[in-house]
Amino acid sequence: MSEGNAHVTEETVASSAETFGRLNQHPEPSAPAAWRIGVSADPNTQCRRVDEDAHAFIYDFAGLRGQGYFAVFDGHAGKKAAEYCGLHFHEHLLDNMRKDPSTPIPHLLNATFHSVDTQLSALSAAEGSHSGCTAVTCLLRLEDENGDPVGEGSGVAPHIIGGEKGKLDGKPGEACEAAEAVGIDPTEGKPGSGEGQHPGGSPHDGSVKSKIKNMLSSSGSKISSLGSNSTSSSPTDNSPVSGPAEEVKAAKRTLYTANAGDARAVLCRGGRAIRLSYDHKAGDAKEMQRIEAAGGYIANQRVNGYLAVTRSLGDSQMKQFVVGSPYTTETTLRDDDDFLILACDGLWDVCTDQQAVDAVRDIRDPQQASDKLVEFALSNHSTDNLTVLVVNLRNNAN
């Protein structure tokens, strides 16, 4: 096992409203923001020797004011996989959004999981390490009333598409080719892709200026897709691509999630907990069937008697059975969607979805909310590393 805790980019606070592209940087407290995030982590040293968790968040993702990216990566058998994902997963995602602008976000998230998984396998072969991590990732995207993205293609500001080269080298579609190289369909999240997975891509016509001109400023109220009323190339750093975030108007916000393993995303909608992820565990009947069909077996609720989760990033020695294909969901946010919780199983092992929502529903400050959930997990005898992100989705703008 790798020694030492997983490296996570230190949280900072911007000296202005500009946070675009800055990993784990909060806007200044007085700056208007469409959402706010609180992050709390505890290595739980009484039970764990090292902290193998990592997390990431980015305000104004892809250069558009109000968009967001947030993720939790829970490592096992070492820190390397989670550490890499915390530092670089967003770069793979942004690069895929730039290269394949007409592809639906669930498919891009799927392709990103596979390209990151391929990269981790290459790093594993080079370094002789075989760590893995579960992952839950979210993209909050601004869209018009037709569900088309603000900005070019998949929801990227025009100066990001045309202005500078992305962090990852390679030709368009390389993420999909990387997935195909290991025998995986990059557009398929089987089994159990979210109910809201986009059925397919369609070209987005018209210039950015004409799209933005026709945007609506009101909040969207479409039915949630959940049915409730409703590269093989390696990134080198996490500095911003450059340029300020672009101010745009949108009819609605859509939350896209993708997860592999048992890290969860839970939405509070009108006080009710709605899970946006799927626990890929060895006790799941469908996952058991898939693993046995691939030549593996389940013993003591573990894949081949070793790993408790059936999907992850990394784990190159078990990749025949423990795949990186994510479960994806697509949810149109409503006025009664209060906050989102992302956390590793260190929380969920001792807390139900509804208990977590109830514990922090009356706390408006997301930092206080995330702190409380970590304290709740520790007081209920969690034995794992703990990482909790709480995203306040209420309109915090002026």
Q: What is the DSSP string of 40-96?
A: EEE--TTT-SS--EEEEEEETGGGBTT-EEEEEEEEESSSHHHHHHHHHHHHHHHHH
Lowest mean pLDDT among 36-45, 225-234, 286-295, 333-342: 225-234
Cα 300 to Cα 75, 283, 305, distances in angstroms: 21, 9, 6
Q: Is the pLDDT of residue 379 over 90?
A: yes
Q: Report residue 51's pLDDT band, with 50, 70 and 90 as the boundaries.
A: confident
Q: Is residue 6 part of a domain?
A: no
Q: Which of 388, 289, 320, 314 is nearest to 348 (CA)?
A: 388
Strands 25-26 and 12-13: parallel
Average pLDDT over every residue of 203-210: 32
In a domain, 397, yes or no: no
Structural domain contains residue 369: yes
Residue 260's domain is classified under what CATH number?
3.60.40.10
Measured at the alpha carbon of residue 54, what is the angle toward residues 79 and 118, in degrees to the nearest 5? 65
> What CA–CA distance (Å, rounded) separates 285 from 287?
5
CA distances from residue 12 to 54, 57, 98, 379 in whole angstroms, order as listed: 16, 11, 27, 29
Between 217 and 157, the more confident residue is 157
In this prediction, residue 37 has a pLDDT band, given cuts at 50, 70 and 90, of very high
Examine the pLDDT at 280 and tell me if it is beyond 90. Answer: yes
Given a cut of 70, whether residue 194 has pLDDT beyond it is no
pTM of the model: 0.78
Stretch 265-279: mean pLDDT, rounded? 98
Lowest mean pLDDT among 20-29, 68-77, 87-96, 220-229: 220-229
Residue 170: pLDDT over 60: no
Residue 155 lies in a domain: yes
What mean pLDDT do residues 39-52 have? 83
Q: What is the pLDDT of residue 17?
A: 58
Looking at the domain assignment, is residue 79 inside a domain?
A: yes
How would residue 216 be classed by pLDDT, with cut points 50, 70 and 90? Answer: very low
Out of 9-13, 213-217, 298-302, 357-361, pick the least confident: 213-217
The pLDDT of 156-176, averaged and rounded, is 46
| Residue with tokens 């691939």, as numbered in its chain | 294
Domain count, the chain: 1
- What is the band of 204 on the pLDDT scale with cuts at 50, 70, 90? very low
Q: Going by C-beta distance under 8 Å and a sequence separation of 6 or more, which residues neighbour residue 97?
A: 62, 105, 108, 153, 154, 155, 156
With respect to residue 30, please indicate whether it lies within any of the assigned structural domains.
yes
Per-residue pLDDT reduced to its tens digit, 316-350: 889 999 999 999 999 999 999 999 999 999 999 99
Which of 47-51, 100-104, 323-327 is the most confident on average? 323-327
Which of the two residues, 147 and 256, has the higher pLDDT score? 256
The answer as to whether 3 is a domain residue is no
Are 75 and 82 spatial neighbours (Cβ–Cβ below 8 Å)?
Answer: yes
Between the alpha carbon of residue 203 and those of residues 117, 149, 329, 351, the distances in Å are: 28, 11, 21, 43
The mean-pLDDT minimum among 77-86, 159-168, 352-361 falls in: 159-168
pLDDT at 50: 80
Please enumerate, as own/partner, the contacts of 372-375 that have beta carbons within 8 Å and a separation of 24 or more.
Answer: 373/40, 373/341, 373/343, 373/347, 374/40, 374/41, 374/42, 374/347
**Is residue 390 classed as helix, strand or coil in its secondary structure?**
strand
What pLDDT digit, counting tens, does each position of 61-101 carry?
Answer: 998 889 999 999 998 888 899 999 999 999 999 999 998 88
Query: 356 near 246, Cβ under 8 Å?
Result: no
Give percent of the chain above pLDDT 70: 72
State mean pLDDT over 188-206.
Answer: 36
Where residue 160 falls among pLDDT bands split at 50, 70, 90?
low
DSSP 167-211: SS-S-TTHHHHHHHHTT--TT---S---TT---------S-HHHH
Label residue 6 by pLDDT band (50, 70, 90). low
CB neighbour list of residue 340: distance below 8 Å, 6 or more residues apart: 70, 138, 255, 265, 266, 267, 268, 276, 389, 390, 391, 393
> Is pLDDT at 249 greater than 50 in this prediction?
yes
Average pLDDT, the chain: 78
In a domain, 358, yes or no: yes
What is the pLDDT, as a whole number, of residue 396?
A: 62
Beta-bridge partners for 37: 391
The whole domain housing 86 covers 12-392
Encoded tokens for 321: 């059975």
